[in-house]
Amino acid sequence: MSKLWGGRFTKTAEEWVDEFGASIGFDQNLVEEDIQGSLAHVKMLGKCGIVSEEEAETITKGLQTLLERARKGELEYSVQNEDIHLNIEKFLIDEIGPVGGKLHTGRSRNDQVATDMHLYLRKQIEEISSEIKNLQGALLEQAKQHVETIIPGYTHLQRAQPVSFAHHLLAYFWMLERDFSRYQDGLKRVNISPLGAGALAGTTFPIDRHYSAELLGFDGIYENSLDAVSDRDFIIEFLASSATLMMHLSRLCEEIILWSSQEFRFIELDDTFATGSSIMPQKKNPDMAELIRGKTGRVYGSLFSLLTILKGLPLAYNKDMQEDKEGMFDAVTTVKGSLKIFTGMISSMTVRTDVMEKAVHSDFSNATELADYLASRGMPFRDAHEVVGKLVLHCIQKDMFLLDLPFADYKEASELFEEDIYDVLQPKTVVARRNSAGGTGFEQVKIAIEKAEKLV
């Protein structure tokens, strides 16, 4: 089969060489966008009188037929035609005859592939954004059920201060809100048209780039033709946003894995989001959370791979850039899949309030409260810290917690202690009193829930 660009060649490559160079194996993913871009391009060619109205119409009809055939899975792509662009052009010529060859007037595969990817990412970012909102909704629903459920808060994975479980979940809600806004911000640079930049330098034909951009719903056009065909920043930004999102998900995965262990038992995952062991009958493994934590690595990999691919490239297009696609596709699949699984996993998990309750009553996470108590009665905080530190040590030696310690021991430690310390030390009181803006106090958590409600 002769190549669409074969004129200058006297020999044809062997099939295995063609296979190595082809991208059709993966860029067939862009078929919808490729045809969409061509439809706008040919409409512009017709409007500008570069092809006749009649030719434009024939080409348009041919492209529409191809779109239908593509959707039915009827197109049989060939490695001989290298990539999605040449495959579609070949199908078009087969479909409508030599007039199909006019479609490529005033454009190059270089602005074409860039256009395809801008269109593709715009759509994917919209879908991912709505998946983020779904997950935020699931976190918010759980949070609403657990404003007054208290869990130990940790620093260094050591019990630190008790917090509302809702507050903990909402921390992830706000991370996801940043992820959402990062993607949205990226959209501004995704939604710009490279179409009409040609191979690198523009074209001799009197094209109207603004018109084709408008037809495709782009907000504007690239100002510089060299930049238009060699820019992949918008994919890098997408991958960076995705890597950050996955990092957030991965951190929550880690907590879910810990919380569902026998050591914590704070939550139980629904059976549908866990798996068993082929040998140990008692096992219920948090596989989905582990898998998402693991998949974070491949998204980081795609980001790094693209940065590396681009770093030494001279202007403008270089074939290296064909390597931009698989990582991008993989990140899209990974991010969408992970978000969807996560939403199900969060909505269906059981929160073991009884275990959490027991946990916050069997630790020293109320110790700061005691130091604050002394400090608010005039003792310098540093001295109060020392007094309470000694009391904690005393408790450890007696194998008890602060709430169990007899009042006489408190009095001995400091004259400033009154009987009300036993109320002050209750985990509920401890949490409620952290009523500073953005803190875990129940009032603050309720305010946060109201704010969050407006964002889902």
CB 274 within 8 A of CB 341: no
Give φ, ψ of 179 to 5 degrees.
-60, -45
Q: Is residue 104 within the footprint of ligand ARG (CB under 6 A)?
A: no
Q: How far is the CB of 232 from ligand ARG (least distance, A)?
A: 10
- Which is nearer to ligand ARG, 255 or 323 (by Cβ)? 323
* Of positions 322, 334, 338, 440, contacts ligand ARG by CB under 6 A: 322
Of the candidate spans 52-60, 63-71, 108-116, 305-313, the one that interacts with ligand ARG by CB under 6 A turns out to be 108-116
Q: How far apart are CA 55 and CA 110, in angstroms?
A: 24
| Sole window of 148-156, 275-283, 319-327, 388-396 interacting with ligand ARG (rule: CB under 6 A) | 319-327
Tell me, yes or no, if 277 is annotated catalytic.
Answer: yes
Q: Looking at beta carbons only, is 28 or 184 nearer to ligand ARG?
A: 28
Q: Does 193 bind ligand ARG (CB under 6 A)?
A: no
Q: Considering the complex, state which of residue 150 and residue 229 has its C-beta at the smaller distance from ligand ARG.
A: 229
User: Can you tell me whether residue 159 is helix, strand or coil?
Assistant: strand
Residue 413 phi, psi dihedral angles, 5° rounding? -70, -40
Strand ranges, E, within 280-414: 350-351
Question: What is the chain's alpha carbon radius of gyration, rounded to the nearest angstrom?
Answer: 31
What is the closest distance, in whole angstroms, from the C-beta atom of residue 113 to ligand ARG in the complex? 4
Q: How many helices (H) and strands (E) does the chain have?
A: 19, 6
Using CB atoms within 10 A of its CB, is residue 41 exposed (0-12), middle (13-18) or buried (19+)? buried
Q: Which stretch binds ligand ARG (CB under 6 A): 33-41, 52-60, 105-113, 158-166?
A: 105-113
Does 365 help bind ligand ARG (rule: CB under 6 A)?
A: no
Q: Which of residues 76-95 bind ligand ARG (CB under 6 A)?
A: 83
Site mask for ligand ARG (CB under 6 A), range 272-311, x = bound: ----------------------------------------
Residue 334, amino acid = T
- Identified catalytic residue from 277, 338, 376, 414: 277
Q: Does 317 bind ligand ARG (CB under 6 A)?
A: yes
Q: What angle do CA 223, 224, 226 make, to 5 degrees?
A: 155
Catalytic annotation present for 168: no
Single out the residue of 110, 164, 305, 444 in contact with ligand ARG (rule: CB under 6 A): 110
For residue 35, the number of C-alpha atoms closer than 13 Å in the C-beta half-sphere is: 23
Q: Which one, 164 or 322, has the nearer CB to ligand ARG? A: 322
Q: Hey, which residues between 200 and 219 contact ligand ARG (CB under 6 A)?
A: none
Catalytic residue among 156, 210, 230, 241: 156
Residue that the structure tokens 């290298």 belong to: 82
Nearer to ligand ARG, 110 or 343 (CB): 110
Identify which of residues 111 and 237 has a Cβ nearer to ligand ARG in the complex: 111
Minimum CB separation of residue 229 from ligand ARG in Å reads 9
Touching ligand ARG, residues 18-77 (CB under 6 A) = 23, 27
Minimum CB distance to ligand ARG smaller for 55 or for 111: 111
Residue 285 DSSP class: B
| 152: phi then psi, degrees, rounded to nearest 5 | -65, 135
- Torsion sign across C-alpha atoms 290, 137, 171, 124: positive
Sign for the pseudo-dihedral over CA of 396, 398, 403, 406:
negative
Amino acid identity, position 77: Y
Side-chain-side CA neighbours of 441 within 13 Å: the count stands at 11
Told to check if 343 binds ligand ARG by CB under 6 A, we report no
Q: How far apart are CA 154 and CA 131, in angstroms?
A: 29
- Residues forming contacts to ligand ARG in the complex (CB under 6 A) are 23, 27, 83, 109-110, 113, 317, 319, 321-322
Instruction: Return the active site residues.
Output: 156, 277
